[in-house]
């Protein structure tokens, strides 16, 4: 009989996922919930047939150059693959897969939570109660801004962008988007979405801007200082995609200076570090990368990883193969 593939999982996954993996593969699991050290990661790629990394593992050219001859698949536990040098892996004959689709709705929900929480000052309200600062209702106190009737600009109209558009439409926002390619007319019609070929022009007219594109070399600081300054002074920025897409330092300075109304951020440029200017701002709602953090989502992600490994090991094309040309 063929030997079972040696699968190295870098982080603790939900028990049901780990159990299933153990049944199917010669699975090496970690006992402590922390990111692997560089040395541990090198050890893993030297011996494993399959590596299952997460967002906290940088699988760069340096690590890949130390991969053993058995390493044939990197089955990322996550949709974003910016933690992996896909081109180098592919050139070395190592396939890469991800987990798209199963975290779309959860991430869109969290995005909506931020789109609601920031203009309606939810975090400030919570703080008032917690600190015992509520001394009575007033008609002019704690006023936020309505999102109904406002313009939402979505950057990146993929699965998550569209799921956010569906929700925001139901909340009475008008949907605008910028994407490398215009989406199909049926989708635009259903979402009542307006396409902006020019990101610059869209940014200047939106009340809320939400980021849903992947982080690639092409989208690094897509929201550069110049572009952030195109936004209206009373606009809000939401990011549940990747911190690197936004020039975080400029964003923090603009919020401090009142050049932007607020921001809802689930992702940061240097996670888990949070820019101190952002951390102390009361114009923001900040979350620790929780967009896809549901128990159901994590189990679904695990199942996707398992299907990708199984299909690949059976000699077929895994359903979620990522190629450099797709980035």
The C-alpha atoms of residue 238 and residue 251 are separated, in whole angstroms, by 11
Q: Nearest approach, Cβ of 216 to ligand 8YV (angstroms)?
A: 13
Among residues 18, 40, 259, 271, which one is catalytic? 271
Per-residue contact flags (x/-) with ligand 8YV for residues 139 to 168, judged by CB under 6 A: ------------------------------
Is 271 designated active site? Answer: yes
Is residue 289 part of the contact set for ligand 8YV (CB under 6 A)? yes
Which position among 77, 177, 196, 236 is part of the footprint of ligand 8YV (CB under 6 A)?
77
Is residue 318 part of the contact set for ligand 8YV (CB under 6 A)? no
Sign of the torsion angle spanned by Cα atoms 116, 119, 121, 123 = positive
Is 289 designated active site? Answer: yes
List Cβ neighbours of 289 (8 Å cut-off, separation of 6 or more): 55, 266, 267, 268, 271
The C-alpha atoms of residue 152 and residue 168 are separated, in whole angstroms, by 8
Q: Nearest approach, Cβ of 55 to ligand 8YV (angstroms)?
A: 3
Task: Report, in angstroms and rounded to the nearest whole number, the Rg of the chain calculated over CA atoms.
Answer: 21
Which position among 13, 64, 102, 103 is part of the footprint of ligand 8YV (CB under 6 A)?
103
Q: Nearest approach, Cβ of 233 to ligand 8YV (angstroms)?
A: 30
Is residue 78 part of the contact set for ligand 8YV (CB under 6 A)? yes
Task: Give the binding-site size for ligand 8YV (rule: CB under 6 A).
Answer: 9
Among all residues, whose Cβ is closest to ligand 8YV?
78
Candidates 247, 225, 270; CA nearest to 58 is 270
Give 34 or 146: the residue with its C-beta nearer to ligand 8YV.
34
Give 150 or 215: the residue with its C-beta nearer to ligand 8YV.
215
Residue 20 tokens, joined: 């299933």
Count Cα neighbours of 309 within 13 Å in the Cβ-side half-sphere.
30
The C-alpha atoms of residue 240 and residue 195 are separated, in whole angstroms, by 21
Is residue 216 part of the contact set for ligand 8YV (CB under 6 A)? no
The C-alpha atoms of residue 161 and residue 169 are separated, in whole angstroms, by 12
Among residues 242, 244, 248, 269, which one is catalytic? 242
Residue 44 tokens, joined: 């893993």
Pairing of strands 208-211, 151-155: parallel
| DSSP tag of 82 | T
Q: Is 177 helix (H, G, I), strand (E, B) or coil?
A: strand
Torsion over CA of 189, 191, 194 and 197, rounded to 10 degrees?
A: -100
Candidates 43-51, 76-84, 88-96, 270-278 — which segment interacts with ligand 8YV by CB under 6 A? 76-84
Is residue 12 part of the contact set for ligand 8YV (CB under 6 A)? no
Where does residue 273 rank: exposed (0-12), middle (13-18), buried (19+ CB within 10 A)?
Answer: exposed
Q: Which residue has the tokens 């299933």?
A: 20
Is 242 designated active site? Answer: yes
Which position among 292, 302, 304, 313 is part of the footprint of ligand 8YV (CB under 6 A)?
292
Per-residue contact flags (x/-) with ligand 8YV for residues 35 to 74, judged by CB under 6 A: -------------------xx-------------------
Is residue 196 part of the contact set for ligand 8YV (CB under 6 A)? no
- Active site members: 242, 271, 289
- Positions in the binding site for ligand 8YV (CB under 6 A): 54-55, 77-80, 103, 289, 292
């Amino acid at each position: 009989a063929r030997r079972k593939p040696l699968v190295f999982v870098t982080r603790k996954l939900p028990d049901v996922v780990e159990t299933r993996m153990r049944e199917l593969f010669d699975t090496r699991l970690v006992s402590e919930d922390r990111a692997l050290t560089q040395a541990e990661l090198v050890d893993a790629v030297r011996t494993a047939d399959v590596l299952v990394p997460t967002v906290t593992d940088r699988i760069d050219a340096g690590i890949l150059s130390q991969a053993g001859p058995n390493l044939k698949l990197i089955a990322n536990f996550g949709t974003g693959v910016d933690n992996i040098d896909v081109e180098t892996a592919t050139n070395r004959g190592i396939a890469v897969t991800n987990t798209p689709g199963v975290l779309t709705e959860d991430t869109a929900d969290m995005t909506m939570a931020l789109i609601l929480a920031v203009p309606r000052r939810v975090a400030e309200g919570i703080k008032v109660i917690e600190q015992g600062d509520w001394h009575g209702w007033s008609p002019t106190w704690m006023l936020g801004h309505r999102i109904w009737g406002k313009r939402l600009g979505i950057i990146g109209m993929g699965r998550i962008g569209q799921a956010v558009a569906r929700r925001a439409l139901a909340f009475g926002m008008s949907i605008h988007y910028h994407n490398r390619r215009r989406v199909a007319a049926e989708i635009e019609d259903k979402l009542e979405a307006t396409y902006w070929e020019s990101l610059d022009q869209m940014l200047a007219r939106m009340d809320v801007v939400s980021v849903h594109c992947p982080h690639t070399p092409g989208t690094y600081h897509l929201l550069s200082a110049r572009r952030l300054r195109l936004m209206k002074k009373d606009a809000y920025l939401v990011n549940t995609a990747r911190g690197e897409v936004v020039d975080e330092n400029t964003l923090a300075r603009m919020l401090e200076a009142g050049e932007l109304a607020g921001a809802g951020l689930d992702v940061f440029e240097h996670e888990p570090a949070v820019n101190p200017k952002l951390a102390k701002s009361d114009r923001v709602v900040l979350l620790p990368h929780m967009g896809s953090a549901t128990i159901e989502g994590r189990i679904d992600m695990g199942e996707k990883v398992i299907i990708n490994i199984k299909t690949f090991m059976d000699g077929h094309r895994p359903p979620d193969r990522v190629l450099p040309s797709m980035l």
